Amino acid sequence: MSDRFRVTLGQLNPTVGDLAGNAAKARAAWQEGRAAGADLVALPEMFITGYNAQDLWMKPAFHRAAMDEVHRLAAACADGPALAIGSPWAEDGALYNAYLILKGGRVASAQLKHHLPNDTVFDEVRVFEAGPLGGPYSIGTTRIGSPVCEDAWHDDVAETLAETGAEFLLVPNGSPYDRGKFDTRMTHMVARVIETGLPLIYLNMVGGQDDQVFDGASFALNPGGALARLLPAFDEVVAHIDLERGEDGWRVTEGDRAQMPDALERDYRVMVTALRDYCTKTGFGKVLLGLSGGVDSALVAAIAVDALGAGNVRCVMLPSEYTSSDSLEDAEAVARLLGVRYDRVPITGPRAAVTEALAPVFEGTQPDLTEENIQSRLRGLLLMALSNKFGEMLLTTGNKSEVAVGYATIYGDMAGGYNPIKDLYKTRVFDTCRWRNANHRDWMKGPEGPVMPVRVIDKPPSAELRPDQKDSDSLPDYPELDAMLEILIDRDGSIADCVAVGFDRATAQKVERLIYLSEYKRFQSAPGARLTDRAFWLDRRYPLVNRWRDPS
């Protein structure tokens, strides 16, 4: 009986729908494992299809193609270590989320996910059947249990595996980032280790898919919950983890434990990764954005440069008669610091033409928000024209505070293909800008040093659609607004909860009303990087028609 077992982990970045490409990545990891003398090479949950494929999994042609790809992979990896990989699996008219063990040129066993997540961004109950509680699989003389992702958040699957002879647990995951997720994962996995007395290896994928980013940070725990290994967050890594058998059973040999980034860095890395992978996986090599001289567009420009490189980012200033000289100077300064192409396209002439065209039907009315929104929509039109002409995807730049209360113009500044800061409240925008000015990392393609003038961060925010306009003319100051939004959105709280912590009832009611009235705008808005478990998209699904208001 062997006293050593080596698992090669592929903490890798699949692309949804790229079956052949994902299989090639799996095979490359398997070859590294074979060269390193691995007994088992492991890939994450649903790696062959990418995660989260949502209703695509249910399409018969798709899941059959995935299964065929797995069979080809098994044949290609017949001569060497076993390969474990996640895939949809159809049996007896049912579709399962499966973890497949490939040995000797065939699919030797299938671990079928039992607990199907049905909250936040997950609705696997809609897609898959729940598998039965099962036992471990054998690699040589070693018996391994693989609770699939959510299965390890419950005690019954791991307990059943331990009772039926599993000697250690290997948990494959497609677990997306949110700010508290790493600690939550660790808490659940430590509980499984303590309950079963078995070592546990937690394998997570990396990379961006639509709004979600998978942050890796795979790890190994020994009985008692001691951390033996921690792989880097966000990076693609093929790592070899050794277990040794002693009198008390298997133990993970201790090794490198990566340093976890702080909260601001993790958020920033997610926004960069989300944009980079969204562009890479959809085929966009270049992006553009409207650079207003304000803090939001400056941050989006920095994220874009760090994601794609300065040569792939175009910034455009579209001034009107209300654009201040400070904004003109600040926009140009941001572009210069980032090293991007900078164009100026004034909207004064087009705005005069629209005003003239509408004058006969607007006769007898007073200027109001309509005229302000014309400016924003002209900017959207011109930016989309540049996007069409040069094949550059347009980025939107609205922060979560603005997106929440509708402080944005639909078909205007909301026009675009992706919004990196969609889940970042305005107060956190300021903090993130200061962080980026003070920090640079190897994964950033942008320059070292400050990338936006301090004045851009410190000046009062303004849409500059009328003389001397400030955001605070229409909204509470951002620290107050964001605190209420966190209660009403992130915590699903009430007006009474806002009042209980000292906010004015009428102001809280106004904010809540704006949130509900803006639902239709968010429904049509661009996707954006998910940073929290209450992001605007799959995490929060509200009706567009809704007359209910909190009476508290």
How confident is the model over 140-184, as pLDDT tens digits?
999 999 999 999 999 999 999 999 999 999 999 999 999 999 999
Largest pairwise CA distance in the chain:
92
Dist CA 344 CA 367 (whole Å): 27
Dist CA 54 CA 72 (whole Å): 24
> DSSP characters for 66-106?
HHHHHHHHHHHT-SSSEEEEEEEEEETTEEEEEEEEEETTE
Q: Which of 103, 113, 286, 400 is catalytic?
A: 113
Q: Which of 103, 124, 129, 149 is catalytic?
A: 149
Cis? peptide before 52, omega within 30° of 0: yes
Q: Which of 25, 45, 372, 521 is catalytic?
A: 45
The separation between CA 125 and the C-alpha centre of its own chain, rounded to angstroms, equals 22
Q: Is the pTM for the entire model greater than 0.85? A: yes
Residue 385 has which token pair?
Answer: 């024209």
Average pLDDT over residues 395-410: 95
Statement: 264-469 belongs to CATH 3.40.80.10: no
Dist CA 386 CA 394 (whole Å): 9
Q: What angle do CA 457, 299, 395 make, to 5 degrees?
A: 140
Q: 3-state DSSP helix/strand/coil percent for the chain, to nearest 5?
A: 40, 20, 40
Q: Is the pLDDT of residue 514 over 90?
A: yes
In this predicted structure, what is the pLDDT of residue 465?
67
User: What's the CATH fold of domain 4-260?
Assistant: Nitrilase/N-carbamoyl-D-aminoacid amidohydrolase (3.60.110)
Average pLDDT over residues 306-317: 98
The residue ranges of every structural domain in the chain are 4-260, 264-469
Query: What's the burial of 541, exposed, middle or buried (CB within 10 Å: 0-12/13-18/19+)?
Result: exposed
Average pLDDT over residues 119-148: 95
In this predicted structure, what is the pLDDT of residue 469?
67
473 versus 84: which is more confidently predicted? 84
In sequence order, which residues have a C-beta less than 8 Å from that of residue 393 and are 6 or more positions away?
A: 279, 282, 284, 286, 287, 288, 387, 416, 417, 418
In this predicted structure, what is the pLDDT of residue 460?
83
Dist CA 432 CA 291 (whole Å): 18
Per-residue model confidence as pLDDT tens digits over 217-257: 999 999 999 999 999 999 999 999 999 999 889 999 999 99
Q: What angle do CA 58, 63, 64 make, to 5 degrees?
A: 135
**Residue 149 annotated among the catalytic residues of the structure:** yes
In sequence order, which residues have a C-beta less than 8 Å from that of residue 362 and are 6 or more positions away?
A: none
11: helix, strand or coil: strand
Task: Report the 10 Å Cβ neighbour count for 449.
Answer: 9
Q: Is the pLDDT of residue 472 over 90?
A: no
Dist CA 474 CA 1 (whole Å): 73
End-to-end CA distance of the chain: 67
Cα–Cα distances in angstroms (integers) from residue 146 to residues 43, 98, 139, 383, 385, in the given order:
12, 10, 12, 50, 51
Number of residues that make up the chain: 552
Residue 256 has which token pair?
Answer: 């490198």
Residue type, 111: Q
Q: What angle do CA 151, 143, 235 make, to 5 degrees?
A: 55
